[in-house]
Amino acid sequence: MSDATDPVVSRETPPVPTSAQGVFAARLDLAERYAALLADAGVVRGLIGPREAPRLWERHLLNCAVLADALPEDADVCDLGTGAGLPGLVLAIRRPDLRVTLVEPLLRRTTFLDEVVAELGLDRVEVVRGRAEELHGHREFSVVTSRAVAPLGRLLDWSMPLVRQGGVLVAMKGASAAEELAAATADLERHGAGVVEVLTLGAEVVDPPTTAIRVEATRPSRLGWDAADEVRGASRPGRAQRKRKGRRR
């Protein structure tokens, strides 16, 4: 039997670290329930690796949760390539003031996301099955996030057309953040980037701390403009198939 279905390796919910209480506070119960879903259905369906289950809190949940420290209050957030909901669902759990849209092209992942949203009663979370380019010219957000989706140059092409003027891209990166910034100088200029900075978050919570690149958007609204054509040099695909919004408990 493979690890993916091993009841010990794949379905063991890891213990909650002490630091999680300070991070999630009154929302810790939701975070625990999400961790249990990831360790069980998330592994069985291949959304996370079976050996990730024992380190869900440090490597995934807390690592993503501290990103919330860089987000403004009451923001509408788009999480591109969210996969199993990282970081988007974690942000929604920690920060109930946020309105979060999870964008993911694969059906098996959006099915899982819909189930989690309904199970946890996250009524301010929307799941959209589609690619970033399909939303260009149709949707804009105050914040666009992502985690390990693509090198910064390509990520800017997907993300910046979705960031409204004055909003920000906040992309989770690793130790290569400074190198990616240096390599993407021309791309940043092409997208009209304003203030650009590397953030170090949660040093007192996770080791190593979370590193993110923050890019301010300065261009006027792109709603109604087919940004996808300019970025990809191709005709626009069909609109993203929008999944249902999360239901209240």
Angle between helices 107-120 and 28-37 (to 10 degrees): 150
Ligand-binding annotation for 133, yes or no, is yes
Ligand-binding annotation for 11, yes or no, is no
Ligand-binding annotation for 236, yes or no, is no
* Number of C-beta neighbours around residue 201 at 10 A: 19
Nearest 5°: phi and psi at 152?
Answer: -60, -40
Contact (CB, 8 A) for 48 and 40: no
Residue-level length of the chain? 249
* Number of C-beta neighbours around residue 118 at 10 A: 18
Ligand-binding annotation for 177, yes or no, is no
- d(CA 177, CA 180) in angstroms, rounded, equals 5
Ligand-binding annotation for 214, yes or no, is no
Type of residue numbered 151: P
* Number of C-beta neighbours around residue 182 at 10 A: 9
State the binding site.
81, 86, 132-133, 147
State the binding site for S-adenosyl-L-methionine.
81, 86, 132-133, 147
